[in-house]
Amino acid sequence: MTNEQATNNKIGKMNLWQWIKEYSILIKPRQTALLMVTGWAGFSSARCPVVGWELSLAILGSLFLAIGGCTIFNMVFDKDIDTIMGRTKKRPLSTGTISVPNALLVASIMSGLGVGWAFTIDILYGWIILAGLFIDAVIYTIVLKRVTPYSIIWGGISGGMPILAGRALGVGQIDLIGILLALAILLWIPTHILTFTIKYEDQYAAAGIPTFPSAYGVDVTRKIIAWSTVLSSFAMITAARLVEVQGYFLIFLILFSIGLIILSTVMVYRKSFKLNFSLFKLASVYMLGSMLLLIFAL
C-alpha cells in the first residue's frame, strides 16, 4: 500500500467528531482564540455607545474564520518542517490524517468567508483583516520564514492586525491608540516565538529555519525577549491611559506590568531557561488579562 493510499484510508475512516478534532489542531485553537479576543478588545476600547450581540458575534466569527483559515494554510506550507521537528511531527498533516488538498480547501473556504464577512461589517475593518492575512501567509510564512530570523517581525505585525482592526471598526479610522495596541501585540510575540526557538533550537536547525539563537546566540535572544516584553508593557499601559482605564483596573494593570518588567530585567542578568519560560507564561497571562480588562473595564 502506498503512502497516498494509507492517507486516503485514514481520511475515509474519520467521523465528523474526529474531523473536527483534527482540524481544530490545525487552527491552533489557543492562539486563534487569543487573537480573536484581541480584536474584540480593540473594538471595546472605542467605547461604542450601541453594541448588540450580533455585532460582537460578527467580529468574533469573522476573526475566527480568517485567522483559522490562515493558520491552516501556514500549516500546509510548513508541512515539511513539521515532519522534521519533534514537537510538530504528530500534527494531522504530518501524520497523513488530513490530506494537503483537503486542508487547502478548508483553509481557502475559511479565509474567504472570514475576509468576506469582515468587508460586510466595515470596509476599513475588512482591509485590515485582509492585510493581516496577507502579511502572515505570504510575507511571513512563504517569503521570509525560511530566509531570515527577522521574519518574526512580520509575524508580530500580522498578530497585531486583529486588535488594530477592532479598534478601527469602533472609531472609524486607524488612530494612535490602535497603533499602540497593535505595537503591544507585536512586541509580545517575540516572547512567545523566541522562547520556543531557544527551547527547540536543535529542531529548528535540523529543519533549516534561521532563528535568533542560531544567528546571535541564546544570551542575545534572551535580552531581546526581555526588552521586547518591557516595551510591550509600556505600550499597553500607555494605550490603557489614553482610553481612560481608571481605578482598580488601572492599578492592577500597572502592578502586573511592574512585575513583568522586574522579571524581564532579572532575566537579562540571570541565564536560566526556567526563568525564561516563566516570563513567557506570565507574559501570556498578562496579555490575555489586558485584553479582558479592555473588554470589561470600559
Q: Is 125 left (phi over 0), alpha (psi -120 to 50) or beta?
A: alpha
Q: Tell me the longest C-alpha to C-alpha distance in the chain.
A: 67
Over 80: is that where the pLDDT of 13 sits?
no
226 within 8 A of 264, measured Cβ to Cβ:
yes
Query: What is the predicted pLDDT for the residue at 1?
Result: 44
Mean pLDDT is lowest, of 6-10, 112-116, 152-156, for 6-10
Domains observed in the chain: 1-172 (1.10.357.140), 175-298 (1.20.120)
- Flag the least confident range among 82-86, 125-129, 191-195: 191-195
Does the pLDDT at position 207 exceed 70?
yes
> H helices within the chain, ranges in order?
3-12, 16-26, 29-44, 53-77, 79-84, 92-95, 100-121, 123-134, 151-171, 176-199, 201-207, 212-216, 218-242, 247-269, 273-296
At 19, which amino acid appears? W
User: Quick one: average pLDDT of 33-51?
Assistant: 86
What is the reported pLDDT for 184? 95
Q: Could you report the per-residue pLDDT of 265-284, keeping only the tens digit for each? A: 888 787 777 888 888 888 88
Mean pLDDT calculated for residue range 171-182: 96
Confidence of residue 51 (pLDDT cuts 50, 70, 90): low
**Who's near 286: CB < 8 A, 6+ residues apart?**
233, 256, 257, 260
Block residue for cell numbers 522586574: 262
pTM: 0.90
Report which residue type is found at 84. I
Tens-digit pLDDT profile for residues 104-116: 999 999 999 999 9
